[in-house]
Amino acid sequence: MSTDKPGINTRSVHAGAEPDRLHGAVSVPIYQSSTFAFASTAQGAARFSGDEPGYIYTRMGNPTVAALEEAVTAMEGGHAALATSSGMAAIATVFFAYLEAGAHMVGTDAVYGPSRVIVERHFRRFGVQSDWVDTSDLDTIRAAIRPETRMLYIETPENPTLRLSDLAGCAAIAREHGLLLVVDNTFATPVLQRPLEHGADLVVHSMTKFLNGHADVVAGVIVTATEEQRRTVRDALNHHGGCIDPHQAWLVHRGLKTLGLRVAQAQRNAVAISDLLHEHPAVEWVRYPGGADFPQAGLVEKQMEGPGAILCFGVRGGYEGGRRLLEKVTVPTLAVSLGGVETLIEHPASMTHASLGREAREEAGITDDLIRLAVGCEDARDLIEDLRTALDGLFEPAPQEVRTVPA
């Protein structure tokens, strides 16, 4: 690319996508090979020692994977990126790389359930301690830090509560206490938020979500800010083994090229849906970073380029009302996951965040009535009409309450 400062869409389309040198293919070839031939024993040894660049074995690197990694690096403004077999593989690899026996970490309490459970249940067996707190409050973070704290792990916006943490504030605390600041940027995507620009050390994503965008691949990525971090994470990933398959990497890279378009359309839809939910009498509460009543609007302004495409809300009748709504809508699909072209609706307390347990959910504000709506790229008109009909229907008696009049 000849432009000095290409925009985010130019980066997503062109970074890592040079026409191939052999035939000029415009789409990056899929190098579906587990291993790469050496011209000589000397070359094999030189590749292993690092004296000669080049590919060895796909767990340690692959040209199709490298093209995707280059695109993500450019979009996040990082030093390097390492693609993984899932978002959880990315998160587990970061914990594996940086947490040792006796270490302590502080994390956001309302994170994607397994991101917390892996530490509380599994890393704990190896002597890692953790505290999961409301990271939207900087004093709460400070109070949780101990001499042995090594990492501050945040999700902003949080899954599923959509609360935000102040990236620059967290980075300042991390610097002051010598902690590694890791940010899960899955909900915002680099189109709306680039945590490294605010002082984060590492960014992780579930690329299963917006980056791929088509609900057909499970993948993740770790973005580093420095070469030293790249080496540490690369070493952990090589040994931990959560590498991505080249064909999956190619699919994600294809999806990534339309990330900006998809986020813009989904976000427009989410704004329209937020307006409907705010005015509909069957809705008790709504939380959306683009809503006029969003309590952290200043933070959206400060660190995000838009409110995103995910919202959560509760309806009249609590959990039971929500259950009925989930089964009434016809355009959104009742399914977990998010960030695809299709709108998905789910109930976190019984689904994505069930593994946290009731106590942790209540502390984190993941109430039983919370419905998560991950808005896709359909026409707003159709989403609105469908949701309005389903919400209107909540005022009708539930089917089991309907009494038939005997003839």
5 is catalytic: no
**222 contacts ligand LCS (rule: CB under 6 A):** no
C-beta separation of 221 from 84 below 8 A: yes
Q: Give yes or no for residue 218 binding ligand LCS (CB under 6 A).
A: yes
Residue 184 known to be catalytic:
yes
Q: Nearer to ligand LCS by C-beta: 74 or 222?
A: 222
124: which DSSP letter? G
Q: Does the protein bind ligand LCS through residue 338 (CB under 6 A)? A: yes
Q: Does 107 bind ligand LCS (CB under 6 A)?
A: no
**Local structure of 86: helix, strand or coil:** coil
Name the DSSP class of 309: S
Q: Which is nearer to ligand LCS, 177 or 323 (CB)?
A: 323
Residue span binding ligand LCS (CB under 6 A) among the ranges 39-47, 241-249, 334-342, 362-370: 334-342
* Choice from 17, 80, 83, 88 touching ligand LCS (CB under 6 A): 88
The answer to whether the CB of 174 falls within 8 A of the CB of 138 is no
Which run of H or of E encompasses 107? strand 104-108
Active-site position among 31, 47, 98, 112: 112
Beta-carbon contacts of residue 54 (< 8 Å; ≥ 6 apart): 36, 43, 47
Residue whose C-alpha is closest to residue 156's, from 201, 186, 131, 181: 186
Tell me which residue has its CB nearest to ligand LCS: 87
Residue in 206, 269, 303, 343 binding ligand LCS, rule: CB under 6 A: 206
Residue 392 known to be catalytic: no
* Residue of 109, 134, 166, 184 marked active site: 184
- Size, binding site for ligand LCS by CB under 6 A: 18
**Shortest separation between residue 118's beta carbon and ligand LCS, angstroms:** 10
Binding map of ligand LCS across residues 230-269, x = CB under 6 A, - = no contact: ----------------------------------------
Q: Which of residues 154-193 bind ligand LCS (CB under 6 A)?
A: 155, 159, 184, 186-187
The minimum distance between CB 163 and ligand LCS, in angstroms, equals 13
Based on the shown chain and the rule CB under 6 A, indicate whether residue 82 belongs to the binding site for ligand LCS: no
| Alpha helices (H) along 19-122 | 41-49, 63-76, 87-98, 113-117
Q: Where are any strands of DSSP class E within 8-85?
A: 80-84
Angstrom distance (rounded) from CA 181 to CA 32: 35
Residue 201 beta carbon to ligand LCS: minimum distance, rounded to whole angstroms: 17
Nearest to 159 by CA among 309, 369, 372, 377: 372
Closest CA to 105 of 83, 136, 127, 72: 127
149 contributes a contact to ligand LCS by CB under 6 A? no
8 A C-beta contact, residue 378 and residue 343:
yes
Query: Annotated catalytic residue: which of 57, 59, 131, 368?
Result: 59
Torsions phi, psi for 363 (to 5 deg): -60, -35
The first and second tokens of residue 117, run together, are 């459970």
Is 333 a residue that touches ligand LCS (CB under 6 A)? Answer: no
Which span (84-92, 232-240, 278-286, 287-295) binds ligand LCS, by CB under 6 A? 84-92
CB of 84 to ligand LCS, least distance (A): 9
Cβ-Cβ contacts under 8 Å for 90 (sequence gap 6 or more): 82, 84, 204, 205, 206, 220, 221, 222, 242
Q: Residues 58, 62, 64, 115: which binds ligand LCS (CB under 6 A)?
A: 115
Please give the Cα distance from 160 to 190 (Å, whole number): 19
User: Is 59 marked active-site?
Assistant: yes
130 binds ligand LCS (CB under 6 A): no
Instruction: Kindly list the catalytic residues.
Output: 59, 112, 184, 209
Q: Which residues bind ligand LCS (CB under 6 A)?
A: 86-88, 112, 115, 155, 159, 184, 186-187, 206, 208, 218, 220, 336-338, 352
